């Protein structure tokens, strides 16, 4: 009797050429969206701590915005097959949430002392969740969970904690 591994298809055998092409095409903008989320989280942390560096014209916000626009265009131009559609849909949901988070962060950083951080944090967390969901749909996409970060257990503000 053949071994169980001999009966199981190899991971590469499960992916057709269109799926592989989609993974290769969407990997860089996926990474860019992760980077945008990380930069935005960093800026919000600066704002939450009252740093004078947190300003609407901060270079990191400008960089995140430019990277976001490029990633959005690249994802929107991908062609999804039936197999890759759930992944692309997750990325499109992440894009919508990041757009909302970016706008809220711009508004918040303009008046950080009186701002509502949840207005930016809630869509940022939603974007992160959609990116995380995308990693479970296709191989080749990885995320590091907020809960595994160095500061996960050290939140000083209830509204800034990732839940």
Structural domain includes residue 152: no
pLDDT, residue 116, reads: 80
pLDDT, residue 144, reads: 59
CA distances 108 to 57, 96, 111, Å, are 12, 18, 5
Token pair belonging to 70: 């490029």
Structural domain includes residue 100: yes
Token pair belonging to 80: 């999804």
Structural domain includes residue 155: no
CATH number reported for the structural domain that contains residue 82 in this entry: 1.20.120
pLDDT, residue 5, reads: 43
Per-residue tens of pLDDT for the chain, all 163 residues = 444 444 434 444 467 889 889 999 999 999 999 999 999 999 888 888 777 777 777 888 899 999 999 999 999 999 888 999 999 999 999 999 999 999 999 888 887 566 688 999 999 999 999 999 999 888 778 775 555 444 444 444 444 433 3
Token pair belonging to 63: 């960089």
| Residue-range definition of the domain harbouring residue 120 | 18-142
Q: State the total domains in the chain.
A: 1
Q: Where are the beta strands (DSSP E) in 76-132?
A: none
Structural domain includes residue 157: no
Structural domain includes residue 30: yes
- Report the alpha-carbon distance of residue 137 to residue 139 in Å, rounded: 7
Structural domain includes residue 162: no
Structural domain includes residue 48: yes
Structural domain includes residue 101: yes
pLDDT, residue 59, reads: 87
Please answer whether residues 117 and 159 qualify as being in contact, where contact means their C-beta atoms are separated by less than 8 angstroms.
yes
């Amino acid at each position: 009797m053949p071994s169980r591994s001999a009966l199981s298809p190899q991971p590469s055998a499960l992916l057709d050429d269109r799926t592989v092409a989609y993974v290769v095409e969407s990997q860089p903008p996926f990474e860019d969206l992760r980077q945008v989320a990380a930069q935005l989280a960093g800026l919000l942390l600066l704002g939450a701590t009252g740093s004078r560096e947190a300003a609407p014209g901060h270079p990191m916000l400008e960089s995140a915005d430019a990277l976001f626009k490029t990633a959005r265009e690249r994802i929107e131009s991908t062609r999804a097959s039936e197999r890759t559609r759930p992944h692309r849909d997750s990325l499109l949901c992440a894009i919508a949430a990041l757009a909302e988070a970016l706008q809220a962060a711009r508004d918040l950083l303009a008046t950080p002392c009186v701002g509502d951080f949840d207005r930016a944090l809630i869509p940022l967390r939603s974007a992160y969740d959609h990116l995380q969901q995308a990693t479970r749909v296709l191989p080749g996409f990885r995320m590091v969970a907020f809960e595994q970060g160095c500061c996960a257990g050290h939140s000083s503000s209830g509204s800034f904690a990732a839940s």
